[in-house]
Each structure stands twice: as C-alpha cells, then as structure tokens.
Structure 1
Amino acid sequence: MEKNQQIAASVLELVGGKENISFVTHCMTRLRLNLKDESIVDDEKVKKIKGVLGVAHSGGQYQIIIGQNVPKVYKAVCETGGFQQHAAIEENLDQPKEKLTLKTIGSNIMNYMSGAMTQLIGVMIGAAMFKTVLVLIGPDMLKLISAESDTYLLLNAIYNAFYYFLPVFLGYSAAKKLGANVTLGMMMGTLLLVPDFVNLIGTKESISIYGLLSAPVQSYAQSVLPILLAVAIMSVVETFFKKVVPDVLSTIFVPTLTLAVMVPLLFCVCGPIGGYIGAWVGDLLIGFGDVGGFVAVAVVAALWEFLVMTGMHAVLITFAITTMLQTGSDSFVLVAGGIATWSAFGMALGAFFKQKNKEEKAESFGYFVSGILGGVTEPVLFGVGMRYKRPFLALLGGGLLGGLYAGITHVSTYVLGATNFLSVLGFVAGGTSNLVNGIIASVLGMLATAVLTYILGGFEEEDEVEKAEELEPVLEI
C-alpha cells in the first residue's frame, strides 16, 4: 500500500474509525481531527505509526503531527474515510496570544522569515543542482562544455531563474505566510526587478516617486530584506483597505489603493533599507578589520553567511575586490567568506549524519553536494539553518574556529571566483605554507560546523515535534 495511504489507514483504525470522526482538517504540519470520543485513542500507538512525529490535544482537537507531508496524508485520510476536503488552516490558531516582549518579537520575526523561506526550499535545491551539474561538466572541471555553449547558457539560466528572481518568489511565499494577497506580494517583488528600473542602474542615482519623493536607484536582484519588509507592511495596508472599502468595490480598489501606498514605501523605505544596513555593517566590519587583525577574520567568517542571507555582504565584497586589484591578494574578506562557505558545507554534512528521517537525510545530502560541488549555500542555510535554528549556532562556531586559524596563520587568497571545493586553489600562489594553512582552515571550519551541528542540531523526533508545535527559534533577537 502507498505510504500516505498506509498512514491514513493506520490513523483511522487507531482513532476509532471514521465513525468516531466528526470533522477533519489540517494545518502546515498537523492532521487535526475532531473526535466524538478521544478517550478511546491510545496516544502511544498513534505515535508509533511510521511517518507520525507525535500527537497533541489542543483546541478541542486531536492533532497528529506529520510534518511537511501532512497535505498528502490529509488527502489520503479524506479519500479513505469519505470526508470532504478543506483548505489548510492557520498553524497556531488555537494558541493563546503571547505578550509582546523582546523574545516574542524576535520569535515572530524569525518565524516569519523561516515560514517564507522554507516554502521555497524545493525549487531552491532544484535550481542549485543545475548549477552543480554546470560546474561539473563546465570549463572549470571536466571541460565537457564551453562557457559559450547553449548547454552552459541553459543550465546557468535555470539557476538564475530562481536566484535572480528570488524577491518575486519571496513575495509570494511571504504573503502566503501572512495570509495576504499572494499576487500583490509577487507584485512587490517584480517592481524591484522590473527592467525599466534595473536599466537605470549606473545611469542615474535616484528617481522621483509621484514627483514628491526621491528613491535611490540600486540592484535588488537576489535580495531578501527589502521584499520581506515590504510584504509585512503590505499585509497591514491591505487589511486596512479591506475594512474601509465597501465589498462591492473591493476587487478594484483594495489592490489599487494598496499598490498606491506601497510603491513609495517600497522604493523609498523597504528597498533602500537593506542597502543602508549593509553599508553600515560593511563599514563597521571593514573598520574592525583595520584594527582587529586575526580576530577580525574570525568574526567575519562567523558572520559571513548571515550577511549573505540578508544581502548585506555587498560592501565587503566591493572592499575585497578593490584590495585584490590593488595588491594582488586578500587576507581578510575573501578568506573569511571562503571559510564560511566551507562551514556551510559542514552544516549540511552534520545534519545528514544526525537526521533519522530518510527524506530529510536525502535533502541534507543534496544540500552538501550542491554546496561543495556547485558552490551554492542558500539551500542549506534555509533548509537546515532557518528550519531548525540551532545549526546556526554551529555555523557561527565553525566559521569562528576556521577563521581564527586562517587569521593566525596569515592565510591569503590570490584568485577571485570559485565558491566550491575548488576555492582552495586560490591559496596556491601564496606558496606551500599558505596552501596548506588555507586548506586546514577551510576543512577545520567544515568539520567543526559538522560536529557542532550533530551535537546542537535538534533533529531528534522530540525536537521535530517541538518545531511543528511551536516553531520557537533558539536564536533570539
């Protein structure tokens, strides 16, 4: 019997059959049953069903925690039991409202970002695998195709189709997470990438919005913060207009008025904020690098992937390229960034060895392969780090250790480009000692992160249940 049907059949049998169920629905992770008599159900037997992560009694419902596979199990339960299918409901609608504290604010922010990003993991890893194939058969490795070939162009385009247009995908998933209009969310993303504005980059510094405000002209491709902030504000603006606009006019005027308000906010507030924060952080870290020595390398290696996730690494990259052009090498930003990348590989590796669920192990192995061969770290950052939170602590620790070793041994890189395992070739021009120390620093970052991820990752069944029930982040803002 097909896996989901087997889970459905076992669930129906152990809850007393379809005759004991008055209503069935689901949320993002849980199968929610309204039972006529909950006392007849043995929780321990239900927990032992292969594919079930746990159970909960909440909001007058018997909730069976399935995880991301719950829509398929729900469909199988409805088909087997003859129940009418309904759309998924809000994950935590039966939870009491929390008091607004620093912890809850940080938790809500992390849950919003996590909820928006984890919806994209499937297509993210798919696009990354095409980049991996491109690197393998391309001119840098097997040399089966040239950079001018149609195959190279196609594989690169598939990768860029996701990562360049990330704001559009995020606009959809963030709006869905908040219960806002998903097409309006996508509209926010497309406005950031529309060619009419992109073509202005380098030709003028600002554009006029409604003839009243000035917005800077800059690139938002692959950015994260601007669209997440914009959709969060948009959901509030849209809700307001839904309340004040009569129903008969809402189809036309709610989206129109929402866009009218959001356009200046998008270009004058949400869009630039990532650039401003990035510039500030970049200037701070560059200043720290001037006085911090080997400690600065360690700090940047620990923080690098977090800067990449939010698009705030651009200033540091510019600084590194300038240094490389002036001196022929860099012993700060590029070295730290390379070690951080290897640490991200380690996070995927640690997750692979720790996880028990076969599907999740396969995903983590895919993250590792796409990273170490293709040089793509976003899948593991969002698929492991953002999903489970605690591996981020491992990433910090591994990057710090690798960066500390590189800083103490004065490792320098002499080549721009590779972000996969070939990145160690950038150490060759510095001599044998530089190459050996560069490799040690990179591998140290990876192995330290893998071990820390294994220890801190929280991939056990009880941690999965906690994640599904509370989605409570470990990293507090």
Structure 2
Amino acid sequence: MKYEQLANDILTHIGGRENVASLTHCITRLRFQLKDDSIVDKDKVKNIDGVVSCVNKGGQFQVVIGTHVEDVYHAVCKVGKIEADSSGEPSGEKKGLISAFFDTIAGIFVPIIGALAGAGMLKAILSLATTFNWVSPESQTYTILFMVSDIAFYYMPFFLAVSAAKKFKTNTFLALIFAGMLVHPTLIGLKDAGDAVALLGIPMRMATYTSSVIPIILIVYFQSYIERFAKKITPQAVKTFLVPIITILIVAPVGLLALGPIGAFVGEYVAAFFNLLNEKASWVVPTLVGALNPLLVMTGMHYSVGAAQAVQRATVGYATIYSPGALASNMSQAAAVFAVSIKSKKKDITALASSCAATAICGITEPALYGVTLKLKRPLYATMLAGGIAGFYAGIMGVKAYSAGTSTIFTLPIYIGQDNSFIHACITAGIAIVLGFVFSYLFHKDEEAAPVEEEVPAGKTNVELNRNQSEVYAPIKGEVVALENVKDDAFSTMAMGKGIAIEPTEGIVYAPFDGKVEVLFKTKHAIGLRSNEGVELLIHIGIDTVKLEGKHFEALVSVHDTIKQGQELIRFNISEIKQAGYDCITPIIITNTGDYLDVIESDKSNVGLDNTILTAIK
C-alpha cells in the first residue's frame, strides 16, 4: 500500500498502537489522542519522509500531512488496527431527510450498477438474437444464457443486501441470510399454495420478493440497529454466536411480518403511480429527464432515479422512468459536444470536445459535461433543449426499456420487447443526435477574452508577464498578518507552504481567482482551491476551528465546483466562533509553493476583494 511505510513510521515514533486512545483527521492533519505524550519522539516524527510537521496542542498530538491526509489516515487505521473514530471528527454533514434518503439509495445502488448493466445487456443481446433467428428461444443454449442474464434481477435482494450492509455498516453475511429468507423456495411455496400463513400466531401478508428492491433495504437498515444493540448488551466471551442469534431472532420475524410487506406495498404503489402517469401523461417523465439529466448527473440524483426505475422494472417488467429520457439526453450531449469540436477555431477546445464526444456516445457523459458543456454554457443549453424534445417523443410513443443497461446507441437492444419500443428508441436517439448537433452548432461561439491594459515592467511584455506569474486576490476582507505571527507552528513555520494570514472583518470567504474547489472539509472550516493557472491554495478559517464540528460555518459550494473570482464560498460567524474560544485569524497558503521560484506577499495592511495578496512567480 502506498502509505503503509509512512503509517508504520508514525505509529513507531508516537509510542506504538498501544499509545493511541483515538485517531481523527482534519483537512491537513492526523489528530491523535494519546495515552502518554511523554513517550513520543517529536523530532523523529518531524523527520519522517511524508510528514510536514507536528504539533502538540489542545490535548492532541497533531501530525501535519497535507491535503492527502485522508489516505494516510486510512493507512494508519489499517496498519495499527485502529477502528475509524467517527466521534472526534464528524463523518459527514447533517442532511435533511430527503437529501439523506437519496444519498442512501444512491450509495446502495452505485456498487451494483455494473452487474445490472452487464446482465441487462446479455438479455438485450438474447432478444436481438431471437429477433433475427440467430438462436431459437426453445434451445438449451438460450435457456441457460437467459438464466445467467436473469440472476441479477431475480436474486436482486442478495445484491442489495451486500451493498446495503456496507452502506449501513452491518454484518454482510447476516444480511445475506435475510435476503435468502425472502426468496427461499419454502416461502415461495407457501405463497403459491394460497393458504393462510402465520408466524408466531400473527398472520403474514404474503408477497413476491424475487426482484424486489425496497423490502431488503428496510430489513438491512433495521438489522444495523438490532446488531449494534446486541453487541452492546452481549458479554465479550459469547459475542461470536450470541450477537448473530439475537439479530436473526429479532430481524427475521419483523422482516417477514412488517418490513417485507411494507416494502412490497410501497414498491407496488411506486410502480402503480408511474404506470398511471404513463397512461395519463406518458410524455412528462421522459421529457423532464431528457432535459434535466445533466443536472441530475451533477448532483448524483440520477442514481436515485435509477433506483426508482429498478422498482418499476421489478414490478411490471419494464422501465420508463429513467432510461428513455437518459438516452435522449446522453445522445444530445454527445452530438452537442461534437458540434463544438467542428465549429470551434480553438485547437485546445477542438481536441477536448472530440475526445469528450467519443466517451459521451458510449454513455459516459461526465467528461463532456464538466469539460465542455457546463464550462461553455451554450452547448449545455443545446443539450437540454434537444434532450427535452427527444424525451418528449419517447414519452408520447411509450418507449419502454425491457432490460437494464446504459443509455447509448449501443444498448438500443434493451428496448426490444412486445411493442415498437425498439423502433421508437432508435428514432429518439436520432432526434437527440440531430437536434443536439444543430442547436449546439448554431449556439456556439468562441469567446474572446477582452484585452486588459496592464502596467508592464521594463523589459517585459504582457505575454511574458501573464505567463510567468499568477495572482491570488484577497478571499477575505480584513487586516493582513504575516504568516510567521500566526500562533500555529504548522502555518507560522511555513511548513505547509508560503502565504499570508488575514484577521477577518467580515465572515465571508470569496473565491480569490477563477478555478475549482479541490477539497472542502466536512466541518467547512477549511477549503482547498486550484486556480486555472495551477495555483493550489488552502484557506483555513481560524485556528483549531475543526473542533467546532461545522458549527457557525456554512458552505456555499461543493467539491469539484467551478468557481469565479469574487464568488462567495463559505460564510462563518466571527462573533460566535470567538465566543466559543477560537481565534478567527485565517492562514491563506499556496500549498504547491515548490512549483514556483518565489511567492511575494502583499505589503498592504488592510485588504479587500480587489487587492492582490499573493503573487506566485514561475
């Protein structure tokens, strides 16, 4: 492992695994709670290759690593067999109920998408083979291959059990027991017999759980709580067998009597709702997905919509919620980006757009979205307009996907079924490609940067000046403080890089240049940025404010967001932070100082957003 030796060296010189009470991390540091500080060899820790510095303050021994600290943290946990501590450093932001729900569904479905897509494509190939009489549906070859293609769908509870167990941090093998319970031949036989069935004297509502989605997710979620409860009350000596038996005896009856039927009931009504929508206004969902899919991809919501589609397919045997609209959107985006590559006179844009178009036509639209359409805006508008129109056509024609698969022209066979969906899916893709190309070609213009008059030093041209230096504007309004005066060794010694500090007079962090958010810590007290010119900047609001666990901070951007100079990034409450006993002085560090000949600090005592505070010279 890349960081294994570094982890070993750190543990050795802080007194070994036995000296670690707990371990957390922030955006740059490992934060150890040690049992005995006196046995730590601080000088040796500082001299470890890969350690920037170390500080012993606030009851913590802090090892400064840099922005790749999370990788080192996981290595230390693995090497030292230290359980990841979620109590010292929050594992994530508090989310609203709806946001948490979609995040959970996405987290469960993402790991199994590949298996579902592969199995779906095999089904599509078999449909194509029987349509053209390449394989007889009565042949044993067809029967066996169809069985293989159907496994991921028929035994869906098993796949979801594994994924949900990881998401809810519970025992995977116990989760598989509950998945097997739902699809066991005995339970299926009891249902097929049609007789009343009771468990513990309580009547059971019998349902079909093969291919189901919601029941197993509810059961594994419940399992995670019961298992933690069982671990808490069970003596250590008998945990091995007592925790599993307690979990099984509680979860199995509740799953069969309540959670399973509730999940099946919800699944039926989700499918019924979309069936009703398809009957009354079939154009609505494909049109919206066709137009808005780039935004769904940006937020990760496409995984959650895909999960709803899985419920629909499991219930009625086909899908209309996501696939038809996504096909329209993906193909329009591929064509829109290709149009940019044809029309643009800029070689760098032409090269980028050409490669992005090739990946988009294969259904991988993120490079096209983030590299071209979102950046240039007009191709994005063309994509959304063309995708919406093509999605509308798919909706009014009732296009149905009979198998799972990615949304590309290469997976059109998944629309082969009992109706004309395949033909209309082909037409949908054609509409999307033609309109996406035409709209984008008409909309696109190479933006020309307006000339900027600058005072040029003697012997330097504008081109030389701009090429050799990068400016960082003040991200915070306030009083400038020399970095060496910051009361934190990691910053004052410039171990993290050269920079400056600002004592803020306003609780807002602004973008100091055009660029991108590289790192945003979950406690929102620090943010890492990268400018379009390659400057890597760390803005650390306050000293030791990580301990506030996000209180008094509000993040207005997310990781990977593109930012414009002057854009608000983070809001923070100065008075509340100071009242809590923390210094608000904000170090601003160029963390890749080594890439530059020099970094020149501003000589101003007070700065606003239009003032340059750092100039990096190549």
> So what's the TM-score if we normalise by structure 1?
0.55
Q: Which residue number in structure 1 is paired with residue 284 of structure 2?
A: 295
Q: Which residue number in structure 1 is paired with residue 188 of structure 2?
A: 198
Q: Secondary structure at the match of 2:209?
A: coil
| 8 Å contact kept, 2:51–2:63 | no
Give, in angstroms, the shift of residue 402 of structure 1.
3.9
| 8 Å contact kept, 1:135–1:141 | no
Matched, 1:232 2:233: no
Counterpart of 1:213, as a letter, is P
Matched, 1:312 2:282: no
Q: Which residue number in structure 2 is paired with residue 256 of structure 1?
A: 245
Provide the rounded CA distance (Å) in 2 between the counterparts of 1:347 and 1:43: 50
Counterpart of 1:421, as a letter, is L
Provide the rounded CA distance (Å) in 1 between the counterparts of 2:401 and 2:169: 43
Provide the rounded CA distance (Å) in 2 between the counterparts of 1:201 and 1:107: 36
Provide the rounded CA distance (Å) in 2 between the counterparts of 1:273 and 1:164: 20
Give, in angstroms, the shift of residue 266 of structure 1.
0.9
Equivalent of 2:413 in 419, 422, 425: 422
- More divergent stretch after superposition (37-46 vs 157-166): 37-46
Q: What do residues 264-285 of structure 1 show as CA deviations (whole Å, max 9, x unaligned)?
A: 3212332223332233334444
Matched, 1:171 2:161: yes
1:50-449 → structure 2 map (5 Å cutoff): 60=62, 62=64, 85-87=79-81, 89-90=83-84, 92-96=86-90, 103-118=95-110, 120-121=111-112, 125=114, 128-129=117-118, 132=121, 139=129, 147=137, 155-204=145-194, 207-221=197-211, 223-289=212-278, 291-292=280-281, 294-295=283-284, 298-299=287-288, 306=304, 308-310=306-308, 311-314=310-313, 317=316, 334=320, 338-342=323-327, 402=387, 405-407=390-392, 411-412=396-397, 417=402, 420-422=411-413, 437-440=427-430, 443=433
* Larger CA Rg, structure 1 vs 2: 2
Q: Which residue number in structure 1 is paired with residue 344 of structure 2?
A: none
Q: What do residues 314-351 of structure 1 show as CA deviations (whole Å, max 9, x unaligned)?
A: 59847x8xxxxxxxxxxxx75x655135268669989x
Give, in angstroms, the shift of residue 135 of structure 1.
5.0
Q: Which residue number in structure 2 is paired with residue 358 of structure 1?
A: none
| 8 Å contact kept, 2:168–2:221 | yes
Q: Secondary structure at the match of 2:246?
A: helix
More strand by share: 2
The runs of 5 or more residues in structure 1 that have no matched partner are 47-57, 321-332, 354-363, 382-389, 391-396, 448-459
> So what's the TM-score if we normalise by structure 2?
0.45
Give, in angstroms, the shift of residue 300 of structure 1.
7.6
Counterpart of 1:204, as a letter, is G
Provide the rounded CA distance (Å) in 2 between the counterparts of 1:155 and 1:43: 54
Provide the rounded CA distance (Å) in 2 between the counterparts of 1:441 and 1:115: 33
- More divergent stretch after superposition (188-197 vs 145-154): 145-154
Q: How many residues align?
A: 384
| 8 Å contact kept, 1:282–1:313 | yes
Provide the rounded CA distance (Å) in 2 between the counterparts of 1:37 and 1:445: 65
| 8 Å contact kept, 1:32–1:64 | no
| 8 Å contact kept, 2:28–2:65 | yes
* Structure 1 residues 468 and 290: CA distance shift in structure 2, 3 A: same
Counterpart of 2:251, as a letter, is M
| 8 Å contact kept, 2:214–2:264 | no
Provide the rounded CA distance (Å) in 2 between the counterparts of 1:111 and 1:415: 27
More helix by share: 1
Provide the rounded CA distance (Å) in 1 between the counterparts of 2:323 and 2:93: 41
Provide the rounded CA distance (Å) in 2 between the counterparts of 1:37 and 1:179: 38
1:6-21 → structure 2 map (5 Å cutoff): none
Counterpart of 1:339, as a letter, is P
The runs of 5 or more residues in structure 2 that have no matched partner are 33-39, 53-59, 294-300, 339-355, 367-373, 375-381, 406-410, 438-514, 525-548, 550-554, 559-618
Q: Which residue number in structure 2 is paired with residue 393 of structure 1?
A: none
Provide the rounded CA distance (Å) in 1 between the counterparts of 2:118 and 2:142: 14
| 8 Å contact kept, 1:178–1:232 | yes
Give, in angstroms, the shift of residue 239 of structure 1.
2.4
Q: C-alpha root-mean-square deviation of aligned residues, in Å?
A: 6.2
Give, in angstroms, the shift of residue 424 of structure 1.
6.8
Counterpart of 1:239, as a letter, is R
